[in-house]
Structure 1
């Protein structure tokens, strides 16, 4: 296995472990995952949300209905398909997502503060690598 393959594997493993750590510490609901998807991808139909989240359509319908009840998302008619609705974040949903993200950031910041061997530059490099891996390549950067 090449160094790049091994490091790529490590990156995947440790990124997943970080996500699980954050979830264990303040146990956000499955609904937060839906809010994150909508924040990343914009308004989506329930079927598309279910596909992205890798769950069944009935499961996603239940999650969306709960999020509508608490005021974190809306369901509007889908202009591209009259048989479906588009789910979108509300300002309250964005605020809740922001609150959860601040809790996550505080947890990571607290752990980083205990690591005097790591610098802000190290963190900036880690963020830059993750961002580059997650963003689609731009023209000429394939």
Structure 2
């Protein structure tokens, strides 16, 4: 029998995923935004490691990285430990695009929140809980 904490934790994951999907439908960012966010979080990575982190195939991520390079949002550098490999890193333009996407996401969520009656303090508390959860390794 699941504990109350397990039930509520499961519901937290379900609702967080629903929120992310709703924002994606509303805002419509390119798929590459996920890669920018991963690079910001994890630092420069090879394409294979990036694909593993994104739970995507290497060819899919390789194609996405090529598009991101064309946009100027990421750069590919030689891997200092193996010149045959490259490392993908976020560029200042990519950081700016990610910041813009996050502002757009925030505006979309704020619009929904304004209709709920929840206060800024309620939202700040929810963010603090999620931040604490994410500070722990899953």
Normalised TM-score (structure 1): 0.92
Secondary structure (helix, strand or coil) at the match of 2:29 reads: coil
| Structure 2 partner of 1:57 | 58
C-alpha separation in 1, matches of 2:78 and 2:5? 46
| Structure 2 partner of 1:42 | 43
Secondary structure (helix, strand or coil) at the match of 1:44 reads: coil
C-alpha separation in 2, matches of 1:120 and 1:81? 49
| Structure 2 partner of 1:140 | none
Q: CA RMSD in A?
A: 1.1
Secondary structure (helix, strand or coil) at the match of 1:43 reads: coil
C-alpha separation in 1, matches of 2:112 and 2:11? 19
Secondary structure (helix, strand or coil) at the match of 2:116 reads: coil
Q: Number of aligned pairs?
A: 136
C-alpha separation in 2, matches of 1:67 and 1:120? 35
Note if contact 2:78-2:87 (Cα within 8 Å) is conserved in structure 1.
Answer: yes
C-alpha separation in 2, matches of 1:56 and 1:83? 20
| Structure 2 partner of 1:66 | 67
- Any residues of structure 2 matched to 1:128-139 within 5 Å, and which? 128-136=128-136
Query: Aligned-pair distance for 1:80?
Result: 2.1
Query: Aligned-pair distance for 1:45?
Result: 0.6
Structure 2 unaligned regions, length at least 5: none
Query: Aligned-pair distance for 1:81?
Result: 2.2
C-alpha separation in 1, matches of 2:6 and 2:127? 19
C-alpha separation in 2, matches of 1:7 and 1:35? 30
